[in-house]
């Protein structure tokens, strides 16, 4: 697309601009090498998704790439709307597709393809299983090495129930049980049964027996000889008296299992089940995930987030190696507790999972990890069970002077597939080739064209900021422990804003302070459609990675414990004042809005209430506003204690009395935005997901009702089927449009 054509779209109406961004900036879901090709040429496939606000759907398509006379060619193919997942076999000769439509009647089936030929299609009845699981916590599909069998996860079938008064009930139906509340894993899993393991063996699907009904399993992996499998196991209810939500929570115990899969004509069963890890308290193997077999088949590497005294919901992870036959475990990459002031020093691992194929060779693997405000490419060398101290981890610079966000997609020898983006440039697929001896980049080949908006937008790269000594002394009184105070007191922020030459002369630039949620997550320097949309409409968007964010060492993260609503708020204010100084066209008088979701909404509500003269407008997505009323109805009630500095592990035997203690309730109140709401004067838009289990919808409603009683302009949008992220169609698209219209009306028109 030419620059003039791009400019025409950017000057269009908000709906046309938003649609253009959706269609022009697809995201990469997965990509993989074709391992069946033994020639010197390279073949690979990438799976993409794009929002379609007109049809209110997520569209998916495949790109097939192949090397031809020194360059790469590609073709596109649309993926069926009801195809929810697909993956190729190890050789690349076969592909499995999972189809699912939900409604009054569910339709589920599997298709096995051999190149362009359909080999078989198998329907999955309701009596066999419920919905497929493909998410990052309970999903997993695994081809056997001989490609004759396939493991996958799906909901356990529902137990048949009927009314007490039914006259036509069947013997297997349980009378009077249809309204018994089923326990689940919380946010995004409402009403879903536990994940069970199934195996496709030739033309039949069997449920794998031998697994406890109260144990959810995920991430199956075959051993190279196909005799054993390994799994991640997670119990639904622990020794606490209530289940806790799992999504986004890395302080929930899980463990690594190995077993032999015994198959007969009509039966599949796990035998010789062994726990390879043990998630005991203070264990390094607390939240275990992402098992990957070593090329030899003798070892398994995996990621674990250790249990901490503070019990935060996310933190520094470690890389472990287990001899799964001898049950010997060593740590390859340990925690980094305190990051140095040197931004080039390794801060520790921050990732959910490893690539499906991370190995370059028997001693070298690749991964990505959050390092300050970006995801970087990491190489791990000298992997060994006998001498783990010799492991060498190093970031590999393939970007030169430019700062980019990098995710690893697949590895084949010295070839690495990467998803690379920047705040101004959408995701692009890259093939990077390295010299095995010198670890030098031989080729960096871009396989897809991104949407590059650098002609209209600019950005200020992540910059280290710090509270004043006076602010820091004030915050020290809020900490329960001196150990929470790190040596490095800095945090980072970066800004995306319109170039002065692109900015409409009739519209003055305003600033949006956009803190992330969590609080233990991070804004990365990647392409964010919503941020770009607002920037192209004339707003400077400030993204704040306050202390407590990932990628800065465990002590920096722990420094926020006991100080939410204070330390993170003050750092947002410091970042706002910095942004007013460094962005062209901004000044001390620039009007500022606060935008955020979840904990970001918590901070935005705080900012408009504690600093009403600075933050004039707010947009809150599923915000935490009152921890007192939240703690008894959220799926992660432990968060309400942990973030205030109380250890839920110390209190687990007296949780009921702890919930009733007035001093704790008073502290919950004082750290909540509701304690400052009397000062709020900001016109506020609330975006509330009716199916949110993480932050109860009543939190947003409570804030809205108070603002209405104060006669402050406010509006609440209710998305009945949306969960905590409000990322579904059409809710997410509607939310961003309303966000822009609200800011236009109350921020820049005043």
Q: Are residues 155 and 196 in the same domain?
A: yes
More confident residue, 308 or 560: 560
Q: Residue 368 above 90 pLDDT?
A: yes
Q: Residue 486 above 80 pLDDT?
A: no
Question: Which pLDDT band holds residue 2 (cuts at 50, 70, 90)?
Answer: low
- Is the link from the previous residue into 71 a cis peptide, with omega within 30 of 0? no
Question: How does strand 215-222 pair with strand 228-235?
Answer: antiparallel
The share of the chain scoring above pLDDT 70, in percent, equals 92
29-38, 195-204, 410-419, 682-691: which has the minimum mean pLDDT?
A: 29-38
Does residue 71 lie within any of the structural domains?
A: no
Does residue 53 lie within any of the structural domains?
A: no
Q: Are residues 589 and 647 in the same domain?
A: yes
According to the model, what pLDDT value does residue 157 have?
87
Boundary (domain end) residue, out of 425, 446, 467: 446
Mean pLDDT of 629-654: 80
According to the model, what pLDDT value does residue 698 have?
98
Q: What is the CATH number of the domain that holds 554?
A: 3.40.50.1820
Does residue 211 lie within any of the structural domains?
A: yes
83-92, 197-206, 437-446, 518-527: which has the minimum mean pLDDT?
A: 437-446
Q: Residue 39 above 70 pLDDT?
A: no
Dist. CA 538–CA 511, nearest whole Å: 9
R_g over Cα of the chain: 26
Q: Are residues 515 and 377 in the same domain?
A: no
What does the mean pLDDT of the chain come to? 90
Mean pLDDT of 308-333: 90
Q: Residue 18 above 70 pLDDT?
A: yes
Using the 8-state DSSP alphabet, how is residue 737 labeled? H
Does residue 38 lie within any of the structural domains?
A: no
Boundary (domain end) residue, out of 413, 446, 479: 446
Dist. CA 505–CA 488, nearest whole Å: 42
21-25, 227-231, 436-440: which has the minimum mean pLDDT?
A: 436-440
Does residue 306 lie within any of the structural domains?
A: yes
More confident residue, 444 or 544: 544
Q: Residue 482 above 60 pLDDT?
A: no
According to the model, what pLDDT value does residue 651 have?
47
Q: Are residues 461 and 442 in the same domain?
A: no
Q: At 95, give phi and psi (nearest 5°).
A: -135, 135
Q: Are residues 627 and 693 in the same domain?
A: yes
Q: Are residues 513 and 634 in the same domain?
A: yes
How many structural domains are present in the chain? 2
Mean pLDDT of 111-123: 91
Q: Are residues 303 and 369 in the same domain?
A: yes
The share of the chain scoring above pLDDT 90, in percent, equals 70
Mean pLDDT of 148-171: 88
Q: At what angle do helices 731-743 and 529-536 cross, to 10 degrees?
A: 30
Instruction: Express each pLDDT in 273-313 by its tens digit.
Output: 999 998 875 589 999 999 999 999 999 999 999 988 888 99
CA dihedral 275, 276, 280, 283 (to 10 degrees): -170
Q: What is the CATH number of the domain that holds 308?
A: 2.130.10.120
Mean pLDDT of 683-698: 98
Q: Are residues 427 and 509 in the same domain?
A: no
According to the model, what pLDDT value does residue 288 have?
96
Contact yes or no for 141/87 (Cβ under 8 A): yes
Dist. CA 430–CA 260, nearest whole Å: 39
Q: Are residues 353 and 379 in the same domain?
A: yes
Does residue 69 lie within any of the structural domains?
A: no
Dist. CA 485–CA 564, nearest whole Å: 14
Q: Residue 250 above 90 pLDDT?
A: yes
Q: Residue 623 above 70 pLDDT?
A: yes
Does residue 49 lie within any of the structural domains?
A: no
Question: Which pLDDT band holds residue 666 (cuts at 50, 70, 90)?
Answer: very high
Question: Which pLDDT band holds residue 161 (cuts at 50, 70, 90)?
Answer: confident
Contact yes or no for 472/535 (Cβ under 8 A): no
Q: Are residues 731 and 659 in the same domain?
A: yes
Q: Residue 477 above 90 pLDDT?
A: no
Mean pLDDT of 347-357: 96
Instruction: Express each pLDDT in 720-739 by its tens digit.
Output: 999 999 999 999 999 999 99
Q: Residue 453 above 80 pLDDT?
A: yes
Boundary (domain end) residue, out of 404, 427, 446: 446
Does residue 724 lie within any of the structural domains?
A: yes
* Domain span holding position 434: 87-160+185-446
Give residues with Cβ within 8 angstroms of 11, minimum separation 6: none
The encoded tokens of residue 450 equal: 């991104």
Question: Which pLDDT band holds residue 483 (cuts at 50, 70, 90)?
Answer: very low
Question: Which pLDDT band holds residue 471 (cuts at 50, 70, 90)?
Answer: confident
More confident residue, 662 or 710: 710
Q: Which of 308, 283, 242, 286 is nearest to 649 (CA)?
A: 308
Residue 675, classed as helix, strand or coil, is helix
Q: Are residues 581 and 694 in the same domain?
A: yes
According to the model, what pLDDT value does residue 238 have?
54
- Which residue matches tokens 């078989």? 120
Q: Determine if the pTM surpasses 0.85.
A: yes
Q: Are residues 595 and 736 in the same domain?
A: yes
């Amino acid at each position: 697309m030419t620059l003039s054509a791009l400019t025409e779209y950017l000057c269009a109406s908000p709906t046309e601009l938003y649609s253009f961004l959706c269609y022009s900036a697809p995201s990469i879901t997965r990509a993989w090498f074709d391992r069946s090709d033994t020639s010197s040429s390279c073949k690979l496939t990438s799976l993409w998704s794009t929002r379609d606000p007109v049809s209110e759907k997520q569209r998916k398509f495949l790109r097939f790439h192949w090397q031809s006379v020194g360059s790469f060619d590609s073709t596109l193919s649309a993926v069926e709307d009801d195809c929810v997942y697909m993956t190729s076999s190890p050789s690349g000769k076969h592909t499995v597709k999972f189809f699912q439509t939900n409604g009054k009647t569910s339709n589920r089936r599997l298709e096995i393809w051999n190149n362009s030929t359909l080999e078989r299609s198998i329907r999955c009845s309701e009596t066999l299983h419920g919905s497929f699981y493909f998410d990052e916590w309970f999903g997993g599909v695994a081809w056997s090495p001989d490609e004759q069998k396939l493991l996958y996860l799906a909901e356990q079938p529902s137990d048949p129930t009927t009314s007490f008064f039914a006259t036509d009930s069947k013997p297997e139906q349980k009378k009077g049980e249809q309204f018994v509340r089923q326990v689940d894993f919380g946010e995004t899993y409402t009403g879903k049964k536990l994940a069970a393991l199934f195996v496709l063996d030739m033309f039949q699907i069997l449920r794998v027996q031998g697994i406890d009904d109260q144990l959810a399993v995920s991430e199956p992996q075959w051993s190279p000889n196909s005799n054993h499998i390994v799994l991640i196991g997670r119990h639904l209810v622990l020794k606490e008296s209530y289940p806790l939500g799992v999504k986004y929570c890395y302080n929930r115990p899980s463990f690594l299992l190995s077993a032999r899969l015994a198959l007969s004509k009509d039966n599949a069963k796990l035998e010789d089940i062994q726990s390879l890890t043990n998630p005991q308290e203070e264990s390094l193997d607390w939240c275990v995930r992402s098992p990957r077999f070593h090329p030899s088949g003798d070892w398994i590497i995996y990621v674990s987030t250790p249990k901490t005294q503070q019990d935060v919901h996310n933190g520094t992870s470690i890389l472990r190696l287990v001899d799964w036959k001898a049950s010997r475990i060593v740590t390859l990459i340990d925690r980094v507790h305190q990051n140095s002031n040197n931004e080039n020093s390794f801060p520790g691992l921050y990732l959910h999972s490893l690539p499906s194929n991370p190995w370059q060779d028997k001693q070298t693997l690749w991964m990505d990890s959050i390092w300050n405000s970006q995801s970087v490419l990491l190489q791990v060398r000298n992997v060994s069970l006998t001498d783990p101290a010799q492991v060498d981890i190093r970031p590999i610079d393939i970007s030169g002077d430019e700062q980019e966000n990098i995710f690893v997609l697949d590895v084949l020898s010295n070839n690495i597939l990467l998803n690379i983006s920047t705040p101004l440039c959408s995701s692009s697929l890259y093939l990077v080739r390295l010299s095995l001896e010198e670890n030098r980049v031989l080729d960096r080949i871009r396989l897809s064209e991104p949407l590059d908006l650098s002609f209209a937008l600019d950005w200020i790269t992540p910059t280290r900021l710090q509270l004043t000594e006076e602010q820091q002394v004030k915050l020290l009184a809020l900490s329960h422990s001196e150990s929470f105070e790190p040596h490095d007191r800095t945090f980072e922020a970066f800004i995306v804003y319109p170039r002065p030459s692109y900015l409409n002369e009739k519209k003055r630039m305003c600033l949006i302070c956009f803190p992330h949620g969590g609080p233990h997550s991070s804004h990365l320097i990647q392409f964010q459609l919503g941020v770009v949309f607002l920037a192209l409409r004339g707003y400077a968007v400030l993204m704040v990675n306050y202390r407590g964010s990932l990628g800065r060492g465990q002590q920096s993260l722990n420094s926020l414990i006991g100080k939410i609503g204070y330390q993170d708020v003050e750092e947002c204010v410091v970042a706002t004042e910095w942004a007013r100084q460094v962005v062209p066209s901004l000044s001390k008088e620039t009007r500022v809005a606060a935008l955020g979701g979840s904990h970001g909404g918590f901070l935005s509500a705080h900012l408009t209430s504690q600093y009403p003269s600075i933050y004039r407008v707010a947009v809150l997505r599923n915000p935490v506003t009152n921890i007192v009323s939240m703690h008894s109805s959220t799926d992660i009630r432990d968060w309400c204690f942990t973030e205030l500095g109380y250890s839920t592990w110390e209190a687990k035997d007296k949780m009921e009395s702890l919930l009733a203690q007035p001093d704790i309730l008073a502290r919950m109140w004082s750290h909540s935005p509701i304690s400052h709401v009397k000062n709020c004067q900001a016109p506020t838009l609330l975006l509330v997901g009716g199916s949110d289990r993480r932050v109860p919808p009543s939190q947003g409603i409570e804030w809205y009702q108070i603002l209405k009683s104060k006669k402050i302009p406010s509006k609440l949008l209710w998305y009945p089927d949306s969960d905590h992220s409000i990322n579904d169609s059409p809710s997410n698209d509607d939310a961003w449009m309303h966000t822009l219209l609200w800011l236009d009306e109350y921020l820049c028109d005043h």
